[in-house]
Structure 1
Amino acid sequence: MASVPSLASTVQQRLAEGLSAALPEAGSADPLLRRSDRADFQANGILALAKQLKGNPRELATKVVESIPANDVLKEIEVSGPGFLNITVSDAAIVETLAARAADARLGVPLNEAAGTTVIDYAQPNVAKEMHVGHLRSAVIGAAMVEILEFTGETVVRRHHIGDWGTQFGMLIQYLIEHPHELDHKDEGAEVSGEEAMSNLNRLYKASRALFDADEEFKKRARARVVDLQAGDEETLALWQRFVDESKIYFYSVFE
């Protein structure tokens, strides 16, 4: 089945035709259609056009309305304020559009012939930190974008970018080097819940922070460890990966 045009695109076309008929000197001017809380749509393009043509916007708006023939899509067009058009769509047009979409397996939405690949980076949760509602919000928005893009034929690569290379990690990694058993789970191989993983990370963070604030020598070692991390030092990266893995247990529990 062919794609079903949106009511907005149909209204836009009727208005553009009315503009061209009433004001041929304006060329292919954009009616600047948008949704409205006063009607179904509002068109603001005549205001800018009036400046260009040095005319009275209300008079031009009236002229445009008179140039649009009676049709089954536009129920009413009212000239409002300095020259806005408030547009009400007919019930029949709404019902017919809905019926056409309901009759099609793809709801009248065509596949994009020029579809490509899009990367969607979701919530970017922070390693070793508790998540908050902002992470949930961006993940939900990201998931909605994935569904929409895939429906049009796009190939979507889903990602949660994890990257945190600052002082906090120098502090955590250095603490783990000096207290190697702190991140070990009591029963190796036992499944750890997201809550337990977050509890482990919180405990480590508090302990390393207390040492960082109290011990100048530890602070220097922690800052030097940040340099190692950023330089890709193997041992430091391996320990950073342990924090990532622990954090992932928690992240997945929240996202699930």
Structure 2
Amino acid sequence: MLSAKNLDVRYGQFRAVRGVSLEVKQGETIALIGANGAGKSTLLRAIAGALPIYSGELSFKHKVITHAASCDRVKQGLSLVPEGRRLFTEMTIEENLLLGKTINRAGDWDLDRVFDTFPNLVKRRHAKAGSLSGGEQQATAIGRALMSNPELLILDEVSLGLSPLVVDQVYASIEKLRDAGTTIILVEQALDRAIAFAKRAVCMLEGRIVLDKLTADTNRHEITEAYFGLQQSATQEAS
């Protein structure tokens, strides 16, 4: 479904993403993990079209989208829930959700289905987004992305700033999406939660992918070593 080949993404002269190649199959769930500054959010924003790709090639459903506008990527079925939610705080929940429908992609997602998925939003549908709790804002941000009927849903830091109880509620909702066959790339700092959710773990370190394995074929120790660059350090010391 998604193919990234040797992607470089830069901020000025700084290479935030360095030669990243990644294949995502339809129906896969991928946990993209790594320490702060590893390049995870930069990679996701480049895939979504929010940042330009300096070099390399990106394809979605066998069509090259390396330099396509972000709105065109949404029209093709790729949708990002950004870190920090990025809601329009002076607009209501319902108005924020309807923004996701402006692309007008064919599909089953509408207001009723979003409210069925996130029932805590129903009574507050006319409340301004700025007055919502963190969990309600995250549910609204995910709902807005779903309104575009995505084939690939990208979730950046889905549990950031949320209480454990609210995180459980958010994950219960996205697990239903996963189980229904939605292709998902998830950035998550909580390793155990990410490993439990996804079928595949992809770990980034200093802008590069240093581990890409099925979660069933790896373990917490191996992922932790990749996360902190311990394997790389051991190799350098041995040489």
Please identify which structure carries the higher strand content. Answer: 2
TM over 0.5: no
1 or 2 for the larger relative contact order (CA 8 Å, sep ≥6)? 2
TM-score, normalised relative to structure 1: 0.20
Q: Which of the pair is proportionally richer in helix?
A: 1
Give the alignment's TM-score, normalised by structure 2: 0.21
Larger Rg: 1
